[in-house]
Amino acid sequence: MTSDAALTEAETFYLNDYTPFGFEVDSVELTFRLAPSATRVLSKIRFTPKPGATDLRFFLHGEKLKLISAKIDGTDATPDLTAEGLTCEVPETSFLWEAEVEIDPAGNTALEGLYMSGGMYCTQCEAEGFRKITYYPDRPDVMSIFTVRIEGDEEVLLSNGNPVSQSQGLAEWHDPWPKPAYLFALVAGDLVNHPDTFTTQSGKEVELNIWVRPGDEDKCAFGMEALKKSMTWDEEAYGREYDLDIFNIVAVDDFNMGAMENKGLNIFNSSCVLASPETSTDANFERIEAIIAHEYFHNWTGNRITCRDWFQLCLKEGLTVFRDAQFTSDMRSASVKRISDVIDLRARQFPEDQGPLSHPVRPEEFQEINNFYTATIYEKGAEIIGMLKRLVGDAAYRKAVDLYFDRHDGQACTIEDWLQVFEDSTGRDLAQFKRWYSQAGTPRLKVAESYEDGSYTLTFEQSTAATPGQPQKDPRVIPIALGLLNGNGDEVQPTTVLEMTEAKQSFTFDGLASKPVPSILREFSAPVILERATSSAERTFLLAHDSDLFNRWEAGNTLAREARIDMVLEGAAPDAAYLEALQKLVRDDSLDPAFRALVLQPPSQSDIAQTLYERGVTPDPQKIYDAAETLAQTLAQQLADSLPRLYAETTVEGAYSPDAASAGKRALNARVLTLLTRLDGGEQAARQYASADNMTQQYAALSWLLQAENGAAQSHAFFEQWRGDRLVMDKWFALQVALATPEKAAAVAKDLTRHELFTLKNPNRFRAVMGALAGNHAGFHHASGAGYQLLADNLIVLDSLNPQTTARMCTAFQTWKRYDADRQALIKMQLQRIKSTTGLSRDTNEMVSRILDA
């Protein structure tokens, strides 16, 4: 976009403006003549006007394309070109559109459309990247059958669907399933593969490949196993079989997102597929398994049934996140997965939902759709599916989803279609439930209780604060999973789901011998903020006795949060009851180590800041940091006697295996080591570093050494050992910034941006440094404003290269209204500086404007 265009008001798109495209696209034939700076794309597209169409204007999207020629039915056409596409006079009956365009993959630093990464060609078309490849109705409701011919010198030439022919310098692919252009993909490079096969439920043999750059072939085995597990799981859990002869995955180093579900040709950020014990942590392995599953599951929820328009993004993303979470729960521990997801939801979605970027799970307007791949659409979108399933029950859920697949296969759908299958198959009226899709903001749920003559009443009151564009909120349906415990810790009321529909509503339980202790919102049955004044004794009790593991963790988490808040606000000493309960629990061998590790993991500093803000208190990042340090130090001292034994007991012997049980043990081991390091200054961590034969242990040891400011030698050794491995280097960059003290964080990050291995052009490297800075709460929000300035400096430079990654990183500023006037002024200054940058992208402009509008 030129600077002139940037100065004009950006166009806003509205859900209510939806009109279908006036033409059917019967078939698409594409030929690619690959050349780094001048690739030719030839298209032959058959269009048929739709009878009765209201909009018969022939408009094709196209951006940054050099049009070489255009023909209609073999005759030169004379389209009108704009920066967004073209319009043209066309016949009233079926016709063949032929165009040739030239594009510049090597010059494409935005990593959208066709671009080059490490010498290979690859594509990223979601959401609106196909229009940078050729002229086309680039909207998800236009589905067609693609045949692709690739001419290039590369050894491997890939596209969607099944291979038709392959020879030196030429490949042809045909995808029999109609798809929108955003699922188009092409890869060409001198790649090597890790092959395998899978036999589907009905006996169809599928060829599987993970394609990587030479040298990475030993990092594919884990991803391949994850893929086969995903294929089996989708058959068993959802009755969904794979539908092509071949499934290809390609790893690329330069990628804006984690991975992309292109039909039959998934493209992955190499960080989300390559794994080896020496270079990947347990967390990496778990993420890789989940993301491979996620992209694979899109084959049905996203590809076979796609979205009518981008307002419906949660239709495929919320559902697919929900499905991948179910998969992970089945493969690993369900409660550990649930706890981790809630931590993530509170860290990323709650602040978004309560800040200037708050938007409904189905937004009604946007300027740049890339800015709406948010925690709200993904994670809150998945929570909505979970609530729906809880309300209707497992069997009814499965029946409704079966109906969804039956009824809508091959279509581009809406949230209305999704809810309709639930209404039709269960007879339920979901009109009120639908508010979860249309109303932004996180509901708060106040709880009051009373007990009299064996009768126990809980009264809930829900309210949601105003969000941008939505001053008034209506009550939502809230499924509240509840259990009741007696004074001995026995369950007197097993989990039951209360269906709250009113603004204020009471539920009574009779025949109780004594006043029970309630366990509310088990498994976090709804994405709300629970407000309940309760004693630390009751939380300690639940931490010890609740049969619901989520709520056991929640009790501990609340205790930790309240203890920290008391320390911050009143300079109180760490809560003794909490420390005691924690000690007991950590030593309880009957509990899953992964669970114990989560209980030991303190709430993040940003979480404390958010909670204070929600309570109307201005958080002081430095004080929050100090309280975290004090609490950790106190905990270490309290546990001093048992730490060496716990460390020994949780050390996993033998060859590394990334399985959930071993990983859980290592997670607890790492929590023990961080406490131990506070007592021994890093002696044990240094020993672990020296003997580690896997990245999980090497990384944990280095982390705690850096945190103790005693890891310079190891950091240097780490760098020398791994300087040739991009993904490990990302860890090295990130760790130093993440663990720097508040005073040093910005300076450390700034130094790293001058490092010979730093580059703005690789999103992983950029995120390693800038993401870690934004994630270092007290460092980023240091009163000097140096963190704000450094991030803004880098965002301004990156914007001209890669708007998408720049715009996403702007979310670091979304919480600015939490802080004091001085910090707000410092942040505002940086936001205004970014906004006034000449030629700023539409992506970044929209983000900064919305954040500033708070």
- Please check whether residue 250 is in contact with residue 265, taking contact to mean a CB–CB distance below 8 angstroms: yes
Query: Residue 785 region, left (φ>0) first, then alpha (ψ -120 to 50), else beta?
Result: left
Contact between 261 and ligand BES by CB under 6 A: the answer reads: yes
SS (H, E, C) 656-669: CCCCHHHHHHHHHH
Least distance from ligand BES to the Cβ atom of residue 555, Å? 29
Contact between 257 and ligand BES by CB under 6 A: the answer reads: yes
Which of ligand BES, Zn ion, none does 660 bind, CB closer than 5 to 8 A by kind?
A: none
Which of Zn ion, ligand BES, none does 29 bind, CB closer than 5 to 8 A by kind?
A: none
- Please report, as a single letter, which amino acid is at residue 250: V
Number of residues located near Zn ion, criterion CB under 5 A: 2
Span interacting with ligand BES, options 253-261, 419-427, 463-471, 690-698, rule CB under 6 A: 253-261
**CA–CA dist 854, 824 (Å, integer):** 11
Count Cβ atoms within 10 A of the Cβ of residue 617 and give its class: 0-12 exposed, 13-18 middle, 19 or more buried. Answer: middle
**CA–CA dist 647, 677 (Å, integer):** 11
Give 63 or 261: the residue with its C-beta nearer to ligand BES.
261
Within 294-323, the residues that bind Zn ion by CB under 5 A are 317, 320
Least distance from Zn ion to the Cβ atom of residue 119, Å? 28
Contact between 620 and ligand BES by CB under 6 A: the answer reads: no
Which of Zn ion, ligand BES, none does 373 bind, CB closer than 5 to 8 A by kind?
A: ligand BES
- Please check whether residue 483 is in contact with residue 519, taking contact to mean a CB–CB distance below 8 angstroms: yes
Give 320 or 694: the residue with its C-beta nearer to Zn ion.
320
Within 269-308, the residues that bind ligand BES by CB under 6 A are 290-291, 294-295, 298
Give 344 or 641: the residue with its C-beta nearer to ligand BES.
344
Q: Which residue is nearest to ligand BES (CB)?
A: 258
Q: Is the dihedral of CA 766, 769, 775, 777 positive or negative?
A: negative
Distances (CA, A) of 459 to 83, 453, 480, 502: 58, 17, 12, 11
Query: Which residues does residue 456 pair with via DSSP β-bridges, in sequence order?
Result: 451, 509
Angle between helices 726-738 and 745-753 (to 10 degrees): 150
Which of Zn ion, ligand BES, none does 258 bind, CB closer than 5 to 8 A by kind?
A: ligand BES
**CA–CA dist 355, 440 (Å, integer):** 11
295, 368, 379, 554: the catalytic one is 295
Give 321 or 702: the residue with its C-beta nearer to ligand BES.
321
Give 79 or 180: the residue with its C-beta nearer to ligand BES.
180
State which of residues 63, 98, 175, 317 lies at the interface with ligand BES (CB under 6 A): 317
Which of ligand BES, Zn ion, none does 291 bind, CB closer than 5 to 8 A by kind?
A: ligand BES
Angle between helices 605-614 and 621-638 (to 10 degrees): 120
Contact between 546 and ligand BES by CB under 6 A: the answer reads: no
- Please check whether residue 220 is in contact with residue 274, taking contact to mean a CB–CB distance below 8 angstroms: yes
Least distance from Zn ion to the Cβ atom of residue 298, Å? 6
Least distance from ligand BES to the Cβ atom of residue 790, Å? 25
Give 298 or 731: the residue with its C-beta nearer to ligand BES.
298
SS (H, E, C) 477-496: CEEEEEEEECCCCCEEEEEE
Least distance from ligand BES to the Cβ atom of residue 240, Å? 16
Contact between 260 and ligand BES by CB under 6 A: the answer reads: yes
Within 669-698, the residues that bind Zn ion by CB under 5 A are none
**CA–CA dist 370, 392 (Å, integer):** 33
Give 182 or 553: the residue with its C-beta nearer to Zn ion.
182
Within 392-451, the residues that bind ligand BES by CB under 6 A are none
364 is catalytic: no
**CA–CA dist 77, 92 (Å, integer):** 15
Per the structure block, which two tokens stand in for 680? 């021994």
Per the structure block, which two tokens stand in for 280? 């990947």
Which of Zn ion, ligand BES, none does 284 bind, CB closer than 5 to 8 A by kind?
A: none
Which of Zn ion, ligand BES, none does 310 bind, CB closer than 5 to 8 A by kind?
A: none
Which of these, 793, 796, 818, lies nearest to 807 by C-alpha position? Answer: 796
Number of residues located near ligand BES, criterion CB under 6 A: 16
Strands 113-117 and 504-509, by their bridges, are: unpaired
SS3 content of the chain, % helix, strand, coil (to 5): 45, 20, 35
Give 58 or 130: the residue with its C-beta nearer to ligand BES.
130
Angle at the Cα of 480 from the Cα atoms of 559 and 311, rounded to 5 degrees: 105
Give 182 or 625: the residue with its C-beta nearer to Zn ion.
182
Within 359-398, the residues that bind ligand BES by CB under 6 A are 373, 378
Judge if the upstream peptide bond of residue 127 is cis by omega within 30 degrees of 0. Answer: yes
Within 109-148, the residues that bind ligand BES by CB under 6 A are 126-127
Least distance from ligand BES to the Cβ atom of residue 690, Å? 35
Which of ligand BES, Zn ion, none does 257 bind, CB closer than 5 to 8 A by kind?
A: ligand BES
Contact between 673 and ligand BES by CB under 6 A: the answer reads: no
Per the structure block, which two tokens stand in for 742? 């508040």
Angle between helices 695-707 and 660-680 (to 10 degrees): 30
Residue 335's H or E segment, with its range, is helix 334-344
Query: Which residues does residue 481 pair with via DSSP β-bridges, in sequence order?
Result: 497
State which of residues 156, 206, 259, 559 lies at the interface with ligand BES (CB under 6 A): 259
Give 306 or 420: the residue with its C-beta nearer to ligand BES.
306
Distances (CA, A) of 846 to 16, 368, 803: 20, 7, 11
Which of Zn ion, ligand BES, none does 620 bind, CB closer than 5 to 8 A by kind?
A: none
Q: Which residues bind Zn ion (CB under 5 A)?
A: 317, 320
Q: Which residues bind ligand BES (CB under 6 A)?
A: 126-127, 257-261, 290-291, 294-295, 298, 317, 321, 373, 378
Q: Which residues are known to be catalytic?
A: 295
